[in-house]
A and B are shown apart, each in its own frame.
Chain A
Amino acid sequence: MLSLNRVSKYYKVGTFGGKELAAVRDVSFDVDAGEVVSLIGESGSGKTTIGKMVLKLIDISRGSITCDGQDVTGLHGGAVKSYYRHVQGVFQDPFSSYNPIFKADRVLTMIRSEYFSDMARSEWNDKVDAALRAVTLDPGQVLNKYPHQLSGGQLQRLLVARALLLDLKILVADEIISMLDASTRIDVLNLLAELKGRGMGILFITHDLSLGNYISEKTVILRHGVIAEMGATDKVFGNPTHPYTKALISSVPQLHKKWADVDAEILARGGADTGTCLFHQAYPPTAPVTGKGAVKQDSSDLPPTLVKVEDDHYVGCFDLGAATCQVA
């Protein structure tokens, strides 16, 4: 449904924007209906940039994003508005997503004035009730309240309800539970899983591998703006192939396994990989692409092509010896 095709984003940096910094390089993946795709990366990996590009909050530098076959990169005016009818986002900090001066349900009223201005009041109220019930909120508890009177989990669910009022196909969830407490975050996560059952596609952006593993069908591991590994979640987590993915998974704090045991396991399986990436060694992610001090890049300097290692499992690593694998 949503499809990213070789999307890149360069930011202008330095005096007078004389240099370019690659935040996202050549990223392609799809989000299908009824599917949660988790986009996992550390800070600075470009995961939020991708989310913002999908939501058309920033322009893309190269490549294209299509939704239902329609190219969204060049949308203007009314076309953007109808795009937002299908694609919405929820962000990390629930408290700064609301205007503290107005009541929290204003986010719902604004949807009405923008998209449903000719809908009868009773019909609208039923619609709001249904949306709130879908996110397991009690309308009496959240309507007519100010943001500070509600908990973070309630606010976050209210934002999801707001998105549900529209004819939503894609939800971009950017770190929506990292600010919530352990006891409530799992409820919001389960809510996302229920939405996917209604045929919605969800782009779940997170830095937490265990959350991505819990909820998603497909995982995309991002490193410095380049896809390191992607594929079905059980394959990426069960058989991590890129040295970076292996390093990441081995440093996740687990509840029933100590780091020392994890290391011992890796050693038993034939030793740890060094985790250095040839591509990033040659082109440090902090080096500008153009301008003074730039690392010269031509067409042969593209990031490693994603190589298919098994069904629904692709890895971008020079070390894999592309010759032996079938190129995706």
Chain B
Amino acid sequence: MSLQVSDLKVYYRTLAGDVKALDGATFSIADKEIMGLAGESGCGKSTLGNSLIRLDGRMRYVGGSVNLDGNELPVWDNQGMNEFRFRDVSVIPQYAMSAMNPTRKIGTMTAELLESRGEKYREIKPELLRRIDLVGLDRDVLGRYPIELSGGMKQRMVMVISTLLDPSLLIADEITSALDVSTQRAVAETLVSFRDHGFVKSMIVITHDVSILYQTADTILIMYAGKLAEKAPTKTIIEGAMHPYTKMLISSLPEVGVRYANKKLSGIPGSPPSLLRPPVGCRFRARCPLAFDKCVEEPPFVKVARDHMAACWKVTGSDA
């Protein structure tokens, strides 16, 4: 068991009160597992990703624990996390295209970054060059400024830098969203190859695009309004989802080959609840066609089949 998160709660502080963006997440990721994390905007998926590496000023740790390879991560302690960042937990941020220092050459920036972690740039450089070759970049990118690279090239460079110290857990936050289809594919495949080469042990890929996850992830975790809805192997989520939200989400996705004239898709009526004062019980209740009396109680996120977790009374049975 590589990563074990239990009952993690992270709220946002606002003048109107706490926004319960991540309200009790319990899940685990195995070694060599690429877990996709999907959901609508504002469902807390980026909050979950960020809370595993760095809580920013607005975020408040409320409770829960994170265990990586047997070590407790002090996610509430910004200073204490420094020891783990980059070395054990690393991130490819959402806007990786603008993640690099524009005033430094890429090589210089990487050297400074490594030295800040007490590593010698000269010792790591051969490995760095090898990985630059691997992602299909020119070795002389190290002598260039970020502005000289295209979006896809910068993205790949950031991926190389983020994984340079072979972290145990890599968090990739919406890294393919701003890219063109052809670059998107290249970046997604590079991500999988990093896992296959053992540069990272396990990975969380955060995206709103489920079809990208179908291509890359081993398992998919679906979130809704700050809660976990369902986690299962990729194939199960796409073809045999149990949670009504997952089912509706998957069936609303247009694919190449699906035409309006032949098969009219439909969306999910309504919109997600406000997380400032979320409703009690199941948070999908108001939009769910299957909702019944029991749904005013909160459904537990439990095992419903082998490698398959879900939080829904209709799935677990109301007496569970």
Contact = CB atoms under 8 A, between A and B. Distances in A.
Interface of A: 42-43, 151, 153, 181-187, 189-190, 193, 207, 209-211, 213-215, 233-234, 237, 247-249, 251-256, 258-259
A209 B211 CA distance: 13
B209 A253 contact: yes
Interface in B164-207: 180-182, 184-185, 188-189
Given A190-B264, A190-B266, A254-B214, A184 B180 contact: no
Contacts of A252: 181, 211, 256
B41 A213 contact: no
A215 B211 contact: no
A182 B256 contact: no
B134 interface: no
B227 to A, nearest CB: 16
Contacts of A193: 260, 264
Contacts of A255: 210-211, 214, 238, 250, 253, 255
Given A182-B253, A184-B268, A253 B211 contact: yes
Contacts of B181: 42, 207, 209, 248, 251-252
B265 interface: yes
A272 B256 CA distance: 19
Nearest to A260: B215
A248 B182 contact: yes
A252 B180 CA distance: 10
Residue with the greatest number of chain A CB neighbours at <10 A, chosen from B248, B250, B259: B259
Contacts of A186: 252-254, 265-267
Contacts of B260: 189-190, 193, 214-215
Contacts, number: 108
Given A181-B40, A186-B252, A186-B254, A251 B184 contact: yes
14 contacts: A42-B181, A42-B182, A190-B265, A210-B211, A210-B254, A211-B254, A214-B258, A214-B259, A251-B185, A253-B212, A253-B215, A255-B238, A258-B214, A259-B215
Contact of A214 (B209, B250, B254): B254
A191 to B, nearest CB: 10
Given A252-B256, A259-B189, A42 B180 contact: yes
B249 interface: yes
B271 interface: yes
B211 A185 contact: no
A219 to B, nearest CB: 11
A43 B180 contact: yes
Given A185-B267, A214-B259, A253-B212, 17 more contacts: A181-B41, A181-B208, A182-B40, A183-B248, A183-B249, A183-B252, A186-B267, A207-B181, A210-B254, A211-B254, A234-B259, A248-B181, A251-B182, A254-B215, A254-B255, A255-B211, A256-B255
Contact of B258 (A185, A210, A247): A210
A151 B268 CA distance: 14
Interface in B53-92: none
B143 to A, nearest CB: 21
Contacts of B208: 181-182
B267 A184 contact: yes
Top 10 A-B pairs ranked by shortest CB distance?
A183-B268, A42-B180, A251-B185, A214-B254, A253-B211, A187-B267, A181-B40, A186-B267, A186-B252, A193-B260
A207 B238 CA distance: 24
A210 B40 contact: no
A190 B257 CA distance: 16
Residue with the greatest number of chain B CB neighbours at <10 A, chosen from A189, A249, A255, A258: A255
